[in-house]
Amino acid sequence: MTLGPIMLDVVGTELDAADIRRLQHPLVGGVILFARNYQSPTQLKALTASIHAVRQPPLLIGVDHEGGRVQRFREGFTRIPPMREFGKIWDKQPKKAKQLAEEAGWLMAVELRAHGIDFSFTPVLDMDYGVSQVIGDRAFHMQPQAIAELAYALMQGLKRGGMAAVGKHFPGHGYIAADSHVAIPVDERSFDEIASTDMQPFRQMIDDGLPAIMPAHVIYPKVDDKPAGFSERWLQKVLRQRLAFNGVIFSDDLSMEGAVVAGNVTQRALAALNAGCDMALLCNRPDLADELLENLQWNISAPSLARLARMHGKLHPADMTALRESHEYIEAVHTISQIGIHEDDMFAEAS
Protein backbone atom coordinates (compact mmCIF):
# COMPACT_ATOMS: atom_id res chain seq x y z
CA MET A 1 0.00 0.00 0.00
CA THR A 2 1.38 3.42 -0.93
CA LEU A 3 1.14 6.51 1.26
CA GLY A 4 -2.09 8.45 0.86
CA PRO A 5 -2.52 12.25 0.70
CA ILE A 6 -4.15 12.77 4.14
CA MET A 7 -2.47 13.31 7.51
CA LEU A 8 -4.66 12.69 10.58
CA ASP A 9 -4.19 12.78 14.33
CA VAL A 10 -4.96 10.05 16.87
CA VAL A 11 -7.14 10.37 19.95
CA GLY A 12 -4.99 9.44 22.95
CA THR A 13 -1.73 8.00 24.24
CA GLU A 14 -2.15 4.67 22.48
CA LEU A 15 -3.98 3.55 19.36
CA ASP A 16 -7.58 2.43 19.76
CA ALA A 17 -9.61 0.42 17.24
CA ALA A 18 -10.99 3.56 15.56
CA ASP A 19 -7.49 5.01 15.16
CA ILE A 20 -6.22 1.81 13.56
CA ARG A 21 -9.20 1.65 11.20
CA ARG A 22 -8.52 5.20 10.03
CA LEU A 23 -4.76 4.73 9.70
CA GLN A 24 -5.25 1.61 7.57
CA HIS A 25 -7.36 3.58 5.07
CA PRO A 26 -5.49 3.94 1.75
CA LEU A 27 -6.08 7.73 1.70
CA VAL A 28 -4.00 8.18 4.87
CA GLY A 29 -0.27 8.85 4.61
CA GLY A 30 0.70 10.36 7.93
CA VAL A 31 -0.08 11.11 11.56
CA ILE A 32 0.44 14.37 13.44
CA LEU A 33 0.90 14.11 17.21
CA PHE A 34 -0.16 16.61 19.90
CA ALA A 35 0.52 17.16 23.60
CA ARG A 36 -2.48 14.96 24.46
CA ASN A 37 -0.69 12.03 22.79
CA TYR A 38 2.26 12.35 25.17
CA GLN A 39 2.51 10.88 28.65
CA SER A 40 6.15 9.80 28.93
CA PRO A 41 9.15 9.02 26.70
CA THR A 42 8.49 5.28 26.99
CA GLN A 43 4.82 5.70 26.09
CA LEU A 44 5.68 7.93 23.10
CA LYS A 45 8.14 5.36 21.70
CA ALA A 46 5.48 2.67 22.03
CA LEU A 47 2.90 4.87 20.29
CA THR A 48 5.12 5.76 17.34
CA ALA A 49 6.20 2.12 16.98
CA SER A 50 2.55 1.04 16.85
CA ILE A 51 1.77 3.72 14.23
CA HIS A 52 4.72 2.64 12.09
CA ALA A 53 3.62 -0.99 12.43
CA VAL A 54 0.11 -0.34 11.06
CA ARG A 55 1.23 -0.65 7.42
CA GLN A 56 4.08 -0.65 4.92
CA PRO A 57 5.61 1.65 3.89
CA PRO A 58 5.21 3.11 7.38
CA LEU A 59 3.06 6.20 7.82
CA LEU A 60 4.90 9.49 8.29
CA ILE A 61 4.80 10.85 11.84
CA GLY A 62 5.07 14.62 12.29
CA VAL A 63 4.67 17.05 15.17
CA ASP A 64 4.61 20.80 15.77
CA HIS A 65 7.73 20.96 17.93
CA GLU A 66 9.20 24.39 17.20
CA GLY A 67 10.26 25.46 20.68
CA GLY A 68 8.79 28.09 22.97
CA ARG A 69 5.00 27.85 23.34
CA VAL A 70 4.79 25.42 20.42
CA GLN A 71 6.60 22.40 21.85
CA ARG A 72 4.28 19.42 22.19
CA PHE A 73 6.53 17.18 24.29
CA ARG A 74 8.05 18.77 27.38
CA GLU A 75 8.80 16.49 30.33
CA GLY A 76 11.74 14.30 29.30
CA PHE A 77 12.62 16.61 26.37
CA THR A 78 14.98 19.58 26.34
CA ARG A 79 13.34 22.99 26.58
CA ILE A 80 13.79 24.63 23.17
CA PRO A 81 13.54 28.45 23.34
CA PRO A 82 11.20 30.42 21.07
CA MET A 83 12.93 31.28 17.79
CA ARG A 84 12.81 34.99 18.55
CA GLU A 85 15.59 34.38 21.13
CA PHE A 86 17.98 33.42 18.31
CA GLY A 87 17.00 36.61 16.51
CA LYS A 88 17.90 38.66 19.60
CA ILE A 89 21.33 37.02 19.70
CA TRP A 90 21.73 37.57 15.93
CA ASP A 91 21.38 41.33 16.48
CA LYS A 92 24.56 41.31 18.60
CA GLN A 93 26.43 38.18 17.48
CA PRO A 94 25.13 36.79 14.16
CA LYS A 95 27.74 34.03 13.90
CA LYS A 96 27.02 32.86 17.44
CA ALA A 97 23.26 32.95 16.77
CA LYS A 98 23.65 30.72 13.71
CA GLN A 99 25.79 28.23 15.65
CA LEU A 100 23.16 28.07 18.39
CA ALA A 101 20.29 27.68 15.91
CA GLU A 102 22.13 24.80 14.22
CA GLU A 103 22.69 23.16 17.62
CA ALA A 104 19.01 23.64 18.53
CA GLY A 105 17.93 22.00 15.26
CA TRP A 106 20.21 19.02 15.89
CA LEU A 107 19.01 18.65 19.48
CA MET A 108 15.37 18.85 18.41
CA ALA A 109 15.92 16.24 15.72
CA VAL A 110 17.88 13.67 17.75
CA GLU A 111 15.40 13.77 20.62
CA LEU A 112 12.37 13.43 18.33
CA ARG A 113 14.05 10.74 16.20
CA ALA A 114 14.93 8.79 19.37
CA HIS A 115 11.19 8.60 20.03
CA GLY A 116 10.18 7.53 16.51
CA ILE A 117 9.11 10.91 15.07
CA ASP A 118 9.97 11.45 11.39
CA PHE A 119 9.91 15.26 11.25
CA SER A 120 8.79 18.47 12.94
CA PHE A 121 6.78 21.23 11.26
CA THR A 122 9.54 23.80 11.70
CA PRO A 123 10.99 26.40 11.08
CA VAL A 124 8.59 29.34 11.03
CA LEU A 125 9.77 31.65 8.21
CA ASP A 126 7.22 34.40 8.89
CA MET A 127 8.45 37.93 9.54
CA ASP A 128 8.03 39.32 13.04
CA TYR A 129 6.07 42.53 12.40
CA GLY A 130 4.96 42.58 16.02
CA VAL A 131 1.25 42.39 15.13
CA SER A 132 0.38 38.72 14.55
CA GLN A 133 -1.43 37.09 17.46
CA VAL A 134 -0.52 33.58 16.38
CA ILE A 135 3.08 34.07 15.15
CA GLY A 136 4.67 36.39 17.73
CA ASP A 137 7.87 34.96 19.22
CA ARG A 138 7.67 31.91 16.96
CA ALA A 139 9.32 34.08 14.29
CA PHE A 140 13.09 34.55 14.25
CA HIS A 141 13.22 38.23 13.32
CA MET A 142 11.81 41.17 11.38
CA GLN A 143 14.64 41.15 8.81
CA PRO A 144 14.31 38.60 5.96
CA GLN A 145 18.08 38.00 5.88
CA ALA A 146 18.23 37.20 9.58
CA ILE A 147 15.28 34.80 9.21
CA ALA A 148 16.87 33.04 6.23
CA GLU A 149 20.29 32.67 7.88
CA LEU A 150 18.93 31.42 11.20
CA ALA A 151 16.39 29.10 9.56
CA TYR A 152 19.10 27.67 7.30
CA ALA A 153 21.26 26.95 10.36
CA LEU A 154 18.31 25.26 12.10
CA MET A 155 17.59 23.23 8.94
CA GLN A 156 21.21 22.05 8.81
CA GLY A 157 20.97 20.96 12.44
CA LEU A 158 17.73 19.09 11.77
CA LYS A 159 19.33 17.38 8.78
CA ARG A 160 22.38 16.35 10.82
CA GLY A 161 19.96 14.79 13.32
CA GLY A 162 18.15 12.84 10.58
CA MET A 163 15.13 15.08 10.06
CA ALA A 164 13.68 17.17 7.22
CA ALA A 165 12.58 20.78 7.76
CA VAL A 166 9.16 22.26 6.92
CA GLY A 167 9.09 26.03 6.33
CA LYS A 168 5.85 27.82 7.20
CA HIS A 169 3.53 29.72 6.56
CA PHE A 170 4.01 30.57 2.86
CA PRO A 171 3.98 33.31 1.58
CA GLY A 172 3.96 34.91 5.05
CA HIS A 173 1.55 35.05 8.01
CA GLY A 174 3.26 37.71 10.14
CA TYR A 175 1.77 40.91 8.68
CA ILE A 176 -1.83 40.58 9.87
CA ALA A 177 -3.16 40.34 13.43
CA ALA A 178 -5.87 37.72 12.87
CA ASP A 179 -5.23 34.10 13.91
CA SER A 180 -6.23 31.64 11.17
CA HIS A 181 -7.14 29.03 13.82
CA VAL A 182 -10.18 31.13 14.78
CA ALA A 183 -10.59 33.69 11.97
CA ILE A 184 -10.06 34.15 8.23
CA PRO A 185 -7.09 36.53 7.96
CA VAL A 186 -6.91 38.87 4.97
CA ASP A 187 -3.65 40.52 3.88
CA GLU A 188 -4.39 43.42 1.52
CA ARG A 189 -0.83 43.96 0.26
CA SER A 190 0.16 43.66 -3.39
CA PHE A 191 2.09 40.69 -4.72
CA ASP A 192 5.19 42.84 -5.27
CA GLU A 193 5.15 44.04 -1.68
CA ILE A 194 4.83 40.50 -0.33
CA ALA A 195 7.45 39.18 -2.76
CA SER A 196 9.99 41.82 -1.76
CA THR A 197 9.55 41.19 1.97
CA ASP A 198 7.81 38.13 3.45
CA MET A 199 8.62 35.79 0.56
CA GLN A 200 12.35 36.45 0.71
CA PRO A 201 13.15 33.91 3.49
CA PHE A 202 11.14 31.29 1.58
CA ARG A 203 12.97 32.10 -1.66
CA GLN A 204 16.36 31.79 0.00
CA MET A 205 15.48 28.59 1.87
CA ILE A 206 14.14 27.02 -1.33
CA ASP A 207 17.43 27.85 -3.05
CA ASP A 208 19.17 26.21 -0.08
CA GLY A 209 17.21 22.96 -0.47
CA LEU A 210 14.22 23.31 1.87
CA PRO A 211 12.45 19.88 1.79
CA ALA A 212 8.88 20.98 2.60
CA ILE A 213 6.59 23.99 2.97
CA MET A 214 3.24 24.67 4.64
CA PRO A 215 1.15 27.51 3.13
CA ALA A 216 -0.87 29.95 5.22
CA HIS A 217 -4.65 29.95 5.67
CA VAL A 218 -4.52 33.62 4.71
CA ILE A 219 -6.30 35.35 1.81
CA TYR A 220 -4.20 37.79 -0.21
CA PRO A 221 -7.02 39.32 -2.31
CA LYS A 222 -4.74 41.31 -4.61
CA VAL A 223 -3.28 37.95 -5.75
CA ASP A 224 -6.18 35.49 -5.35
CA ASP A 225 -9.51 35.35 -3.54
CA LYS A 226 -8.65 31.94 -2.06
CA PRO A 227 -6.39 31.31 0.96
CA ALA A 228 -2.85 30.49 -0.15
CA GLY A 229 -3.21 26.82 0.77
CA PHE A 230 -6.17 26.48 -1.63
CA SER A 231 -4.72 28.68 -4.36
CA GLU A 232 -3.30 27.23 -7.56
CA ARG A 233 -1.88 30.68 -8.27
CA TRP A 234 0.17 30.67 -5.07
CA LEU A 235 1.14 27.01 -5.02
CA GLN A 236 1.64 26.28 -8.74
CA LYS A 237 2.47 29.58 -10.40
CA VAL A 238 4.47 31.18 -7.58
CA LEU A 239 5.83 28.34 -5.45
CA ARG A 240 6.39 25.60 -8.03
CA GLN A 241 7.11 27.67 -11.16
CA ARG A 242 8.49 31.06 -10.11
CA LEU A 243 10.41 29.84 -7.03
CA ALA A 244 11.18 26.36 -8.50
CA PHE A 245 10.21 24.59 -5.28
CA ASN A 246 10.21 20.80 -5.72
CA GLY A 247 9.65 19.66 -2.13
CA VAL A 248 6.50 18.60 -0.26
CA ILE A 249 3.61 21.02 0.19
CA PHE A 250 1.59 20.25 3.33
CA SER A 251 -1.73 22.02 3.81
CA ASP A 252 -2.35 23.66 7.16
CA ASP A 253 -5.06 22.06 9.29
CA LEU A 254 -8.33 21.79 7.34
CA SER A 255 -10.37 22.10 10.56
CA MET A 256 -9.09 25.65 11.22
CA GLU A 257 -11.45 28.58 10.80
CA GLY A 258 -9.25 29.93 7.99
CA ALA A 259 -10.11 26.83 5.93
CA VAL A 260 -13.91 26.93 6.10
CA VAL A 261 -14.16 29.25 3.09
CA ALA A 262 -13.45 26.19 0.92
CA GLY A 263 -16.63 24.37 1.97
CA ASN A 264 -17.19 21.06 3.76
CA VAL A 265 -14.24 18.93 4.79
CA THR A 266 -14.13 16.93 1.55
CA GLN A 267 -14.29 20.13 -0.52
CA ARG A 268 -11.49 21.62 1.59
CA ALA A 269 -9.25 18.60 1.04
CA LEU A 270 -9.99 18.61 -2.70
CA ALA A 271 -9.31 22.35 -2.88
CA ALA A 272 -5.93 21.89 -1.17
CA LEU A 273 -4.92 18.87 -3.26
CA ASN A 274 -6.11 20.37 -6.55
CA ALA A 275 -4.24 23.58 -5.77
CA GLY A 276 -1.02 21.63 -5.43
CA CYS A 277 -0.69 20.28 -1.88
CA ASP A 278 0.89 16.83 -1.68
CA MET A 279 -0.65 16.10 1.71
CA ALA A 280 -3.63 17.68 3.50
CA LEU A 281 -3.82 17.81 7.30
CA LEU A 282 -6.99 17.30 9.32
CA CYS A 283 -6.67 17.56 13.10
CA ASN A 284 -8.82 17.33 16.24
CA ARG A 285 -12.02 16.25 14.48
CA PRO A 286 -12.37 12.43 14.29
CA ASP A 287 -15.92 12.88 13.00
CA LEU A 288 -14.68 14.95 10.05
CA ALA A 289 -11.85 12.47 9.49
CA ASP A 290 -14.41 9.69 9.04
CA GLU A 291 -16.46 11.88 6.70
CA LEU A 292 -13.38 12.73 4.65
CA LEU A 293 -12.15 9.14 4.34
CA GLU A 294 -15.62 8.02 3.27
CA ASN A 295 -16.10 10.70 0.61
CA LEU A 296 -12.75 11.80 -0.79
CA GLN A 297 -11.67 10.34 -4.11
CA TRP A 298 -8.06 11.09 -4.98
CA ASN A 299 -5.31 9.24 -6.80
CA ILE A 300 -1.99 10.44 -5.43
CA SER A 301 0.58 11.24 -8.13
CA ALA A 302 3.99 9.63 -8.51
CA PRO A 303 5.79 12.97 -7.91
CA SER A 304 3.84 13.47 -4.66
CA LEU A 305 4.72 9.95 -3.51
CA ALA A 306 8.40 10.53 -4.27
CA ARG A 307 8.39 13.83 -2.40
CA LEU A 308 6.61 12.35 0.64
CA ALA A 309 9.01 9.40 0.78
CA ARG A 310 11.84 11.88 1.41
CA MET A 311 10.13 13.01 4.64
CA HIS A 312 10.81 9.72 6.43
CA GLY A 313 13.34 10.11 9.23
CA LYS A 314 16.92 9.55 8.11
CA LEU A 315 19.79 7.83 9.91
CA HIS A 316 19.41 5.13 12.55
CA PRO A 317 18.29 7.18 15.55
CA ALA A 318 20.25 6.88 18.78
CA ASP A 319 18.18 6.02 21.84
CA MET A 320 18.07 8.43 24.77
CA THR A 321 20.44 6.32 26.85
CA ALA A 322 23.15 6.59 24.19
CA LEU A 323 22.44 10.30 23.71
CA ARG A 324 22.81 11.02 27.42
CA GLU A 325 26.25 9.44 27.33
CA SER A 326 27.27 11.64 24.40
CA HIS A 327 29.41 14.69 25.17
CA GLU A 328 27.88 16.53 22.19
CA TYR A 329 24.36 15.94 23.48
CA ILE A 330 25.20 16.98 27.05
CA GLU A 331 26.81 20.20 25.80
CA ALA A 332 23.88 20.97 23.50
CA VAL A 333 21.30 20.45 26.25
CA HIS A 334 23.25 22.72 28.61
CA THR A 335 23.63 25.47 26.01
CA ILE A 336 20.20 25.45 24.37
CA SER A 337 18.10 25.01 27.51
CA GLN A 338 19.62 28.19 28.97
CA ILE A 339 18.82 30.48 26.02
CA GLY A 340 16.32 33.15 26.97
CA ILE A 341 16.61 32.40 30.68
CA HIS A 342 19.92 34.08 31.49
CA GLU A 343 20.51 36.18 28.40
CA ASP A 344 22.90 38.64 30.06
CA ASP A 345 25.02 35.84 31.52
CA MET A 346 25.19 34.10 28.15
CA PHE A 347 26.35 37.21 26.35
CA ALA A 348 28.97 37.76 29.03
CA GLU A 349 30.30 34.24 28.49
CA ALA A 350 30.26 34.59 24.70
CA SER A 351 31.94 37.98 24.47
- What domains can you pick out in the chain, each with its CATH number? 77-280+305-350 (3.20.20.300)
pLDDT interval class at 230 (50, 70, 90): very high
> Which of the four pLDDT bands, split at 50, 70 and 90, describes residue 74?
very high
Q: Is 64 annotated as a binding residue?
A: yes
Q: Is 226 annotated as a binding residue?
A: no
Q: What is the mean pLDDT of residues 272-301?
A: 96
> Mean pLDDT across the chain, nearest whole number?
93
Catalytic residue flag (residue 52): no
pLDDT tens-place string over residues 46-57: 999 999 999 999
Is 342 known to sit in a ligand binding site? no
* Residues 6+ positions from 167 with CB-CB distance below 8 Å: 123, 124, 125, 151, 201, 202, 205, 210, 212, 213, 214
Could you say which of 19, 252, 253, 278 is catalytic? 252
CB 336 within 8 A of CB 103: yes
Q: Is 324 annotated as a binding residue?
A: no
Distances (CA, A) of 23 to 2, 26, 39, 298: 12, 8, 21, 16
At residue 348, the pLDDT reads 32
Q: Is the pLDDT of residue 123 over 80?
A: yes
Residue 126 predicted with pLDDT over 60: yes
| Range 50-77 average pLDDT | 95
252 is catalytic: yes
